[in-house]
Amino acid sequence: MWLDHTVVDFPPTEFALDDPNGLLAAGGGLTPEWLVEAYQRGVFPWYSDDQPILWWSPSPRCVVIPRNFRIGRTLRKVLRRGTFSVTFDQAFPEVIEACREPRADEAGTWITDEMCEAYIDMHHQGFAHSVEVWRGGQLVGGLYGIALGRVFFGESMFHRETDASKVAFVHLVRQLELWGCPLIDCQVSNPHLSSLGAVEMCRKDFEQLLADGVKQPHFPQPWKLSWTYG
């Protein structure tokens, strides 16, 4: 379905294709109005520079349930060493730019200039947030995503040192758990997310959790990290 950029609306997610899995619509826009409407329906944009905006709602859905999250033994050792320091929302543009950097296992990047500008705008409006991991004053890892109600939607993560993105993720999950977050959307499963405790859920169950979560009060603003390991 092609979306009219003047009408902020999406078709029901039950119309998403099976192949490619989850493709729902094309067109529309990346203004905060479009993005908020999309995420609260469980829809997200994902496309390349040579494509129109493509909107997705895959099934199964990759998620993390914070209350079920467990920190593995190896990562506990990393946290005990205290090599890294972690902050929230201190370097959002730098984090998204780092997530855009080419990776050895990928051809190009899906974080287009248009996407980058849109999410920085969402950050300025209080919807998008970043987690930064530092060592010696240098940004060595992090992630970013969208928050609506008590639900967080992870977008991308990066690391320049081993385990740095995992440290970012652990701090995010534990802090969100303290804030009463029932659901972290990770979109599509991959081995890295699975290693961090992500599981798959059918679209119907995901959308029920999502609908309940986005109705709850927003996370506290500004974001401040209070969770510490130990």
Quick: pLDDT tens for 166-212.
999 999 999 999 999 999 999 999 888 888 889 999 999 999 999 99
Could you tell me how far CA 128 lies from the centroid of its own chain? 9
The domain that holds 199 is classified in CATH as 3.40.630.70
SS3 letters across the chain: CEECCCCCCCCCHHHCCCCCCCEEEEECCCCHHHHHHHHHCCCEECCCCCCCCEEECCCCEEEECHHHCCCCHHHHHHHHHCCCEEEECCCHHHHHHHHHCCCCCCCCCCCCHHHHHHHHHHHHCCCEEEEEEEECCEEEEEEEEEEECCEEEEEEEEECCCCHHHHHHHHHHHHHHHCCCCEEEEECCCHHHHHCCCEEECHHHHHHHHHHHHCCCCCCCCCCCCCCCC
At 145-174, the pLDDT tens digits run: 999 999 999 999 999 999 999 999 999 999
Query: Same structural domain for residues 76 and 51?
Result: no
pTM for the structure as a whole = 0.95
The verdict on residue 180 lying in a domain is yes
Cβ atoms of 154 and 164 closer than 8 Å: no
Same domain for 114 and 25: no
Angle at 98 between CA 92 and CA 102, to 5 degrees: 150
Distance of alpha carbon 180 from alpha carbon 159, whole angstroms: 27
Quick one: 94 and 179 in the same domain? Answer: yes
* pLDDT-based confidence at residue 105 (cuts at 50, 70, 90): low
Our count of domains for the chain comes to 2
Mean pLDDT of 128-134: 99
Do 165 and 103 reside in the same domain of the chain? Answer: yes
Residue 39: band (very low, low, confident or very high) from pLDDT cuts 50, 70, 90: very high
Predicted confidence at residue 171, as pLDDT, reads 98
The parent domain of residue 48 ranges over 2-59
Do residues 100 and 178 both lie within one domain?
Answer: yes
173 and 101: one domain? Answer: yes
In the predicted model, what is the mean pLDDT of the chain? 95
Angle formed by the axes of helices 32-40 and 113-124, to 10°?
90
pLDDT at position 187 is 95
Assess whether 189 and 109 both reside in one domain: yes
Burial of 217 (0-12, 13-18, 19+ CB in 10 A): exposed
Summarised one tens digit per residue, pLDDT across range 213-226 is 999 999 999 999 99
**Confidence band of 108 (pLDDT split at 50, 70, 90):** low
Which tens digit of pLDDT belongs to each residue from 116-130?
999 999 999 999 999
Does 88 lie in the same domain as 146?
A: yes
Task: Give me the pLDDT at residue 106, please.
Answer: 58
User: Are residues 42 and 11 part of one domain?
Assistant: yes
Looking at residue 130, its pLDDT comes to 99
Please check whether residues 15 and 78 belong to one and the same domain. no
Residue 143 counted as domain residue: yes
**Residue 81: is its pLDDT beyond 80?**
yes
Q: Are residues 101 and 27 in the same domain?
A: no
